[in-house]
Structure 1
Amino acid sequence: MSYRAVFAVREFRAVFAAHAMSTLGVIVSEIALSVLIYRLTGSPLLSALTFAFGLLPYVLGGTLLSSVADRFPARRVLVGCDLLCAACAAVMTVPGTPVALLLALRVVTAAVAPIFQGTRASTLGDILGEGDLFVLGRSVIRITGQSGQLAGFALGGLLLSVVSPRVVLMITVITFLGSALLLRFRTRRRPARAGTAGGGLVRDSISGMRLLFADRRIRSLLLLGWVPPMFAVVSEALLTPYADGLALAPGGLGVLMCGMPVGAILSETLVGSLLGPRGRARLTMPVAALALVPSLGYAFEPAFGWALVCQILTGCGIAYTLGLDLWFVAAVPEELRGRAMTLMTAGLMTAQGVGMALAGTLAELLPVHQVIAGGAALGVMCVAAVLWRTRAALPEALVRRSGL
């Protein structure tokens, strides 16, 4: 099975194209809004909040509204999320919009994101099945997201050099509308996974979350999806002060920032292309265990070249998620799949946000290289504990098939 088989599915091609458009829209709008707020206020704090508000609301949408992914037809949810994001971006383009409203609109789009991503992930199971095609489809979505980061930052910087932030935001409105049109007319309408008899959205979301956490296997797999990335982002969060300590020019910092996305794209592409399902499953736990080891190299205060190597190798650790995806979708009941995928996404983004915040706080008290290396050491121990729990929670038949 290869990536070519995934793209042979017409409906997946539409989802992929919509994902590429909306990813570019999100990233470019973040940059444009940050620049717009800074020009309006001159405040670095308010400008930085644009990015912070892109992570923090994930926990709100991913927990209190996760049942949306199961209680309504997936296509309606996806199109509705895109249209809401387009509307928010359109309001941002209006001259005279208060800064408080701009930030509030950013919170709305961020709260919608886990619902959209969880619904799309669960829909991939309908489009591609629950086997190897699903794993490869999820891999393509992640690769596109990482590539979109690189392309989005470059495109956003280029556009802002020639047009105003509000014009750039208008362009993102077009990308969201394009994504909505693709999903509306190029994907099938499927019924909702669950009825609405369970009460309100919030109550149903919390009830579903309790059911998911009550299952030892699902709980272990959720932790396996959250803990390694929480520690992996420590080095990325502190690259700016680390580069400053090396007296690097802005271009050098930009290259370091590209290290983890490049490693992630490279590893996912190679593992997805060259290995079959059994091979990917066999790599899951070893790669997860080793993903944070490269960041231990920061204990030696590496120069630019070695720091870049550490970043690329840390990014390569994302390859463990190919096996994790297969285990997770097999463990979750069909009627909870949308909520499970939404919760996984929300928890992932929240864990990364917490990791970045704690890293920044510690870096106020300790040297940056010590914080990165110390975070990696603590992460290795925490990931080892999660892997031990996961190994014990997996069915013996799955363990034997995976060669664990």
Structure 2
Amino acid sequence: MTDSGLGAVFRVREFRVVWTAELFSVAGDQLARVALAVLVYGRTGSAAWAAFTYALTFLPALLGGVLLAGLADSYRRREVMITSDLLRAALVALMAIPQMPLWALCGLLVTVVLLGAPHTAAQGALLPVILRGELYERGLAVRQITTQSAQLAGFASGGLLVAALTPSVALLANAVTFALSAVLVRAGVADRPRPGRSDGSQESGQESHSASVGGLRGAVAGFAEIAADPRRRALVALAWLVGWYVVPEALAAPYADQLGAGPAVVGLLMAADPLGSVLGAWLFVRYVPAETRARLVGLLAAAAGLPLLVSLFHPGVALTVVLWALSGALATAYLLQTQASFVRATPDGSRGRAIGVAASGIVAAQGVAVLVGGLLADLWDPATAIAVAGAAGASMSLCGALAWHRANRGASVGASVGAPSRG
């Protein structure tokens, strides 16, 4: 591996630890999603209940980002990650109890998703400290490739594993992955002081206030801070629009039925977006110069919706897979750069809260878009719903691109948000 490749990030020991811990959690979560779908549908026989349970893995993240992400700025970020992992391990283990009432299962699931917000915020705030300079973008790309590859593997083997293990055992396996993640973080990540405070020194008034504000008040302050910065405001708006590009994955089954294809095609269609994401992340970071990436954000965001418009004309399965993969590649490329630019434009003392708000919005936007896509598919048909989602994403992204251009007018984009800054 050369220093110019993505593999350079694995030379950093702390990143290897964080990456491995995340890999355990992602694999366990994918298994748990399949297990919950099988468990809920098996008990109720209701597709609506199954869809509602799936949506619960997305929507509560917004509330978590609002109320809990500020913890990543109020406490040591390593300890926030460990505590979140241990609590989620305990709650998922409770979900595995046979014949757990459905209302209790949903309540535990919501709590687990809520606890993911401070973990995401703390991890996201630590990464630019662990990975300096351009290594940060490479680290984001590696994490994206890992996540999407795990999703690909999950589509291929998740159902078989759940059938072999039973849903309850699969949920217990997910609980073990959270516990393993906590152990790895505890052993391999340095115990840094809380943000805005160095060993033996005092916090400034502004940094102390930032770290102490939490809950709803902290979320309001976080939203206000982002809204007051034209660059970060445009970046967050573009990032949240990625939800429209998840709709095809959610509608893969009814779309395949509309094409007259069998169940085997559903997995192939669902795998198109994560496959495109893996390729998009690698190609973007490997071949697009660092000084050019930030300038392409708006263009790539709008372009990601265009391949989905072709779904309106009911192309064959092969062409659909290619088009959906292309959309996934473009969406991933722009999302990676919005994340990197946003983090570098945010002071370390409020970085955890800001990342929590932004990341939770991305997850919640996906949940909302999936629900809207489902309603449109019932109102019209799946192909039309997917095309409408692509058109909505492209048109809204054009507005976001214009806002991003205006925010950077008269300044060098690379110097303002694309170059290494505060760690």
Give unpaired runs (5+ residues) of structure 1. none
| Number of the residue aligned with 1:105 | 108
The alpha-carbon deviation at position 17 of structure 1 amounts to 0.3
| Number of the residue aligned with 2:151 | 149
| Number of the residue aligned with 2:300 | 287
State the one-letter code of the partner of 1:38. Answer: Y
SS of alignment partner, residue 59 of structure 2: coil
Q: Deviations over 1:174-193 (max 9, x none)?
A: 11111111001011011121
TM-score of the superposition, structure 1-length normalised? 0.94
Q: Which of 273, 286, 303 in structure 2 is aligned with 1:260?
A: 273
The alpha-carbon deviation at position 222 of structure 1 amounts to 0.6
Q: Does 1:230 align with 2:243?
A: yes
The alpha-carbon deviation at position 299 of structure 1 amounts to 2.4
Say if 1:113 and 1:171 are closer, same or farther in 2 by CA, change over 3 A. same
Q: Deviations over 1:135-163 (max 9, x none)?
A: 11112112111112122333421222222
TM-score of the superposition, structure 2-length normalised? 0.90
Aligned mates of 2:394, 2:43 — CA distance in 1: 43
The alpha-carbon deviation at position 282 of structure 1 amounts to 4.2
Aligned mates of 1:370, 1:199 — CA distance in 2: 45
Say if 1:389 and 1:7 are closer, same or farther in 2 by CA, change over 3 A. same
Q: Does 1:77 align with 2:80?
A: yes
Q: Deviations over 1:212-265 (max 9, x none)?
A: 2222221111111112x1221232232221111111111111101100100010
Q: Which of 283, 287, 292 in structure 2 is aligned with 1:270?
A: 283
Aligned mates of 1:96, 1:162 — CA distance in 2: 19
The alpha-carbon deviation at position 389 of structure 1 amounts to 0.4
The farther-off stretch of 198-207 and 213-222 is 198-207
**Is this contact kept in 2: 1:30–1:50, CA < 8 A?**
no
Q: Does 1:8 align with 2:22?
A: no
State the one-letter code of the partner of 1:177. Answer: A
Say if 1:63 and 1:400 are closer, same or farther in 2 by CA, change over 3 A. closer
| Number of the residue aligned with 2:387 | 373
The farther-off stretch of 119-128 and 372-381 is 372-381
The alpha-carbon deviation at position 199 of structure 1 amounts to 5.2
Q: Which of 114, 136, 139 in structure 1 is aligned with 2:138?
A: 136
Say if 1:17 and 1:198 are closer, same or farther in 2 by CA, change over 3 A. closer
Q: Does 1:121 align with 2:134?
A: no
State the one-letter code of the partner of 2:35. Answer: A
| Number of the residue aligned with 1:324 | 338
State the one-letter code of the partner of 1:72. Answer: Y
Aligned mates of 2:87, 2:327 — CA distance in 1: 35
Q: Which of 182, 186, 189 in structure 1 is aligned with 2:188?
A: 186
State the one-letter code of the partner of 1:158. Answer: L
SS of alignment partner, residue 396 of structure 1: coil
State the one-letter code of the partner of 2:151. Answer: Q
| Number of the residue aligned with 1:347 | 361
Q: Deviations over 1:301-328 (max 9, x none)?
A: 1111111111111111111233323321
State the one-letter code of the partner of 2:147. Answer: G
**Is this contact kept in 2: 1:242–1:369, CA < 8 A?**
yes
Aligned mates of 2:99, 2:373 — CA distance in 1: 36
Aligned mates of 1:123, 1:200 — CA distance in 2: 19
Q: Which of 246, 262, 265 in structure 1 is aligned with 2:259?
A: 246
Give unpaired runs (5+ residues) of structure 2. 197-207, 419-423
Q: Which of 149, 163, 166 in structure 2 is aligned with 1:164?
A: 166
The farther-off stretch of 269-278 and 84-93 is 269-278
Q: Does 1:67 align with 2:70?
A: yes
| Number of the residue aligned with 1:31 | 34
SS of alignment partner, residue 344 of structure 1: helix
Aligned mates of 2:249, 2:383 — CA distance in 1: 12
State the one-letter code of the partner of 2:112. Answer: T
Say if 1:168 and 1:323 are closer, same or farther in 2 by CA, change over 3 A. closer
Aligned mates of 1:125, 1:260 — CA distance in 2: 27
Q: Does 1:212 align with 2:214?
A: no
Q: Which of 197, 212, 215 in structure 2 is aligned with 1:201?
A: 215
Aligned mates of 2:34, 2:25 — CA distance in 1: 14
Aligned mates of 1:117, 1:177 — CA distance in 2: 16
